[in-house]
Amino acid sequence: MLRASLVPLALAFLTGIASGLRGFAVPVLGATLLLARFARVPGADLRAAIVTALALGAFLAQVRGSPSFAPEDSRSHLYEGVVVERTGALEAGEFVLRLDDGRHVTTLIAHTALEIGSRVRAYARYEPPGDARNEGEASPRELASERGLAGRLERAHVISVSATDSRDASLWIPRLRAWGGARLRERLDEPYATILAGALWGERGALPPDLRGEFQDTGTVHILVTAGLHLGVIAALAIGAIALCGGGRIGSSLGAIAIVWLYAVFSGAHLPSIRAATMLSFGLLARATGRSALSWNALAAAAIVVAALRPDSVTSLSFALSFSCVGAILLFAEPFASALERFGLPEPAREALALTFATQAGTWPLTAFAFLVIAPYASLANAFVVPAVGVAMLIGLLELAATPIPLVAQALANVETSVLMWIVGVVRFTASLPGAHVVATPPPMWAIACYDLALGGAAALLARRRRLSAAILVAAAIALCAWPPRPISRDLVITAIDVGQADAILIRTPDGHAYLVDAGGRLERGRSLVTGSPAEAIGERIVVPFLVRQGIHHLDGVLLSHPHGDHAGGLPPVLRTLGADAFADSGQEYGGFAYRDALGVARDKHTPTIYPRAGSVWKTSDGVTLTFLGPQEPFITGSRNDINNNSLVFMLQYKAFRMLFTGDAGSEAEQRILHAGADLHADVLKVGHHGSAYSSTHAFIDAVHPKYAIISVGRNNLFGHPAPQTLETLKAAGAALYRTDENGAVTIETDGQVIRVRSSLRSSSG
């Protein structure tokens, strides 16, 4: 089974592409030539074929490697295009436009009544997808490439909206999807309509955050995006329908290929559906010739074709997930099904369980890497959910086809609701089981590679009936992914996380204590929020994942400089997910939702809340000292912004190293601290209030005299931060300047004497 002739060629071809994309094509090719010349690999023809495949892959990566994007333009221009997709919640106003030059871009338009096919003229600023701005984040370029997006139009100001020609064939499929979504929402309640639309054609609707989290916790989130499972259902339905009409094995297989590709195009022709359609096509061709639809040759051929069409996708997570899933089925579905026979289960149940066990065995390290959770009940949940998804898709298609007959369509919708309620019920029940949510620091890629090799070895051992040895090998591989050895730093490490126009700083002490200073977010306009805040999304999407990727599953303390949403917004999800031993707050009265939510979460989790004042001192067991310089009592009142001016301000000291944290303290707070006579000199300054003109006075900066200055600020923000005069003041003081809008996350590492600074991105000035 593992000696299929195409497998080594596919592996060589993929290796060549991956090495070319990473800039290692020449050394990898040289090493392969040496191995081919001197290693004892049987068959000169095979050696030559492997070297040729590797060279072709490397060449292809150089010629058709990473997609290029137009450069960012800071000016606004007039853009014209048509709406081809609505993304996110219906009320969010997020759309995909196909511009007249052919590019597909996302944009936010405060005109939620736009229909698919509407022609839009708008002034906007083009922004291409960038690189990851924090360590370990998924690359926005890679994600955009997967969806066929060329970037985003920011601050779109709509000039006109008009209808396009209904005879434009390029809009027929998007309009058909929009029509289908509207019909589903007429007859189905939420979240069922969104779940079904996602399964049928990959519509990116917005589920409630708690429900989406439960799908992730149970390993069933894959049912929400059209990919291999869904196209497999379509292939099975097509084979069955054609067979009922008298088509034989060959006719049903070839007909299913055509239907699968039509469906892939209908679902948006995104890369995951194209990849799934390619794999299914090779499997169906094998079936048409009387061979097994699932084989290593078919998988290898599909990998070669997909990689040749989109070489940039080879290093993507979704590529690895797709082929790991099928590879695991080939390795383990049969042994698992045989093992389940002893329990007396009927054959359909055995096959369903065997498939779910096999796919989870092949993909759980990758899903842990992607979603930062281990789903221990994923096999159980998928065994009940996946068959129901097939039923839901069939009923959903019949429901749409029966639209001209309202009574029939509504009857089918009622049945559909029951099926979808079953899916949601299984997901929610499984997510409620003890230990269902296991936060996981992502395993490194080398550990995942070792795990995959161990699976292959275990399959070979099982074929020889050496079950105990196979179990020991798999257990060791699981342990390696779940608890991989990691480098231990004995330095103080401080990271200004890139959270846009907000603040979030992680402090990790030499002995591993972890403190979070602010948690990102966004300003909350008004005080009418009662059910949620968009400020908290930053914590869920950026801050919590960053902490978990750093191996932090619990915080020794959180320090909230002041309660504005751009500092407190991410705190509720941080406290809910990770918890903390202490919560330091400035203690000011403020009605923002995120701040009140943070206080409530701290209260529910019995997290002690303390209110440091000037003169308070914190000390850790490894010699890190936090000396608070503000706020002083009585609080500053009558200033330009009292909330900002009463921020927590403190000096961190470790041996000879000093760093000053200022929150959003303005000139009034700086003046009060100067009058108190504290020693303010510091190696590093976290510049106050995102570098605004109302802080960082000459006198204050002269007193601090920093070697390095870090400004946490959002790209192209509406406030004009950092102010030119602030930059001039810092430069005049001789500080090396780092900005999260230009540098991404900025990390300071020190042993207390030597200071090292690194950033996620190279700034525009180099």
How far apart CA 1 and CA 7 sit, in angstroms, is 10
The region of weakest confidence among 88-92, 189-193, 255-259 is 88-92
What is the residue whose two structure tokens read 């219906």?
90
% the chain with pLDDT above 90: 58
State the architecture of 77-164 in CATH terms: Beta Barrel (2.40)
Q: Is the Cβ–Cβ distance between 353 and 343 less than 8 Å?
A: no
| Phi and psi torsions of 666, nearest 5° | -100, -170
pLDDT at res. 485: 82
Percent of the chain with pLDDT over 70: 94
pLDDT of 3 over the 50 cut: no
Q: Which CATH class is domain 492-759?
A: alpha beta
Strand 609-610 and strand 617-619: the pairing is unpaired
**Range among 38-52, 56-70, 242-256 rated most confident:** 242-256
Give the per-residue pLDDT at 530.
Answer: 47
Per-residue pLDDT at 111: 62
- Return the exposure string of 438-476: e unless at least 16 CB atoms fall within 10 Å of the residue's CB, then b: ebbbbbeeebbebbbebbeebbbbbeeeeeeebeebbee
How many C-beta atoms surround the C-beta of residue 203 within 10 A?
25
pLDDT in tens, 443-465: 998 999 999 999 989 988 988 88
The structure tokens listed for 371 are 């979603």
Q: In the chain, where are the structural domains located?
A: 6-64, 77-164, 178-320+379-440, 451-482, 492-759
Q: Is the pLDDT of residue 53 over 90?
A: no
- Confidence band (pLDDT; 50, 70, 90) for 8? confident
Query: Which candidate, 496, 638, 623, 518, places its Cα nearest to that of 570?
Result: 518
CA angle at 460 for the pair 459 and 463, rounded to the nearest 5° = 90
Helix (H, G, I), strand (E, B) or coil at 516: strand
State the pairing for strand pair 505-508/104-108: unpaired
Average of per-residue pLDDT values in the chain = 89
pLDDT band at 410 (very low <50, low <70, confident <90, very high): very high
Global pTM value: 0.89
pLDDT tens, position by position, 314-324: 888 888 988 89
pLDDT range class, residue 33, cuts 50, 70, 90: low
Torsion over CA: 741, 742, 746, 750 (sign) = negative
How many Cα neighbours within 13 Å face the side chain of 681? 2
* CA–centroid distance for 261 within its chain: 28
Q: What does the pLDDT average to over 263-286?
A: 90
Highest mean pLDDT out of 92-101, 341-350, 596-605? 596-605
Minimum mean pLDDT range among 34-43, 176-185, 403-412, 754-763:
34-43
Query: What is the SS3 assignment for 108?
Result: strand
The per-residue pLDDT for range 490-545, each reduced to its tens digit, is 899 999 999 999 999 999 999 999 999 999 998 886 544 445 577 898 999 999 99
What pLDDT, on the 0 to 100 scale, is given for residue 238? 93
Best CA proximity match to 714, nearest among 741, 688, 739, 674? 741
> What sign does the CA torsion over 438, 439, 441, 443 have?
positive
3-state secondary structure of 505: strand
User: How many Å apart are CA 35 and CA 8, to the nearest integer?
Assistant: 14
Token code pair at residue 79: 């853009």
Amino acid at position 464, single letter: R
Q: Is pLDDT of 35 > 60?
A: no
3-class DSSP state of 578: coil
What pLDDT, on the 0 to 100 scale, is given for residue 747? 97
Report pLDDT for 97: 94
Distance in angstroms (rounded) separating the CA atoms of residues 753 and 747: 16
Could you report the per-residue pLDDT of 109-137, keeping only the tens digit for each? 876 578 888 999 999 999 999 889 999 89
Report whether pLDDT(2) > 70.
no
User: Contact at 8 Å (CB) between 296 and 282?
Assistant: no
Nearest to 663 by CA among 636, 624, 638: 636
Q: What is the pLDDT of residue 764?
A: 45
Average pLDDT over every residue of 176-188? 93
pLDDT digits (tens, 9 = 90+) for 733-755: 999 999 999 999 999 999 999 99
Question: Both tokens of residue 594?
Answer: 């995120």
Residues 6+ apart with CB under 8 A from 180: 197, 200, 201, 400
- Rounded distance, CA 670 to CA 650, Å? 12
Do residues 697 and 723 make contact, with C-beta atoms less than 8 angstroms apart? no
Helix (H) or strand (E) holding 243: helix 228-244
Rounded Cα gap, residues 145 and 140, in angstroms: 8
